[in-house]
Amino acid sequence: HYIEKTTLKDAVNVAPATPSFSWEQLPSDNGLAKFRINWLPSTEGHPGTHFFTMHRIKGETQWIRENEEKNSDYQEVGGLDPETAYEFRVVSVDGHFNTESATQEIDTNTVEGPIMVANETVANAGWFIGMMLALAFIIILFIIMCIIRRNRGGKYDVHDRELANGRRDYPEEGGFHQYSQPLDNKSAGRQSVSSANKPGVESDTDS
């Protein structure tokens, strides 16, 4: 009986076999990437009782460890920077024994989803704002031109004004009738009378 207990205890307190994992993208959270890490315990050895996830930005030395997951075979890892390469591991646990999986790289640049949609939304918003500013500028310019044209109203050539009123009997040499008409007979008569009333020059015989 004592030997059986010792054998059972030794069988339980062994390191889990090397696990593996898969991952899938989840909808982003406030523009930050989020993934679901699926724990795949070994089927050929001791699987372990639970697991946790570790990740870090590629090139860094410090791993970020998630809390141990004892109720599910997956963990959701969020708050990841977009356009960044990460390295992930899962760790199978059994008592004091931990066994890490191989490292997988996840690059948020190559993942389609809400992150990319958010970037496209920003781009579209910028394009829309630019279009609205251009439209506003055109409207303001049109209003200014209308005001200038209105202030110049009535200040056009007399000839054009007469044409607009339907008068088209202008002489070919130009000018206006009131200045190009010959003097009338009354004016000519007045000039003749004035000439007759002038005293003549006395001759030498009168003196």
Average pLDDT of the residues of the chain: 75
Half-sphere exposure of 12 (CA within 13 A, CB side): 7
3-state helix, strand, coil in the chain (%, to 5): 35, 25, 40
Q: Is the pLDDT of residue 170 over 80?
A: no
What pLDDT does 153 receive? 63
Half-sphere exposure of 174 (CA within 13 A, CB side): 2
CA separation for the pair 41, 18 (Å, rounded)? 7
Torsion of CA 181, 182, 187, 191, to 10 degrees: 140
Considering only residues 119 and 43, tell me which one the structure prediction assigns the higher pLDDT: 43
DSSP annotation of 69:
B
Q: Is the pLDDT of residue 48 over 50?
A: yes
Each residue of 135-168: pLDDT tens digit? 999 999 999 998 988 887 655 555 566 666 666 5
CA separation for the pair 42, 48 (Å, rounded)? 8
- What would the mean pLDDT of 95-114 be, rounded to a whole number? 80
0.85 exceeded by pTM: no
Confidence bin at 194 (pLDDT 50/70/90): low
Tokens of 118: 């958010």
CA separation for the pair 81, 78 (Å, rounded)? 9
Q: Is the pLDDT of residue 87 over 90?
A: yes
What is the residue-wise DSSP string for 21-56? EEEEEEEEETTEEEEEEEEE--SSS---SEEEEEEE
Confidence bin at 120 (pLDDT 50/70/90): very low
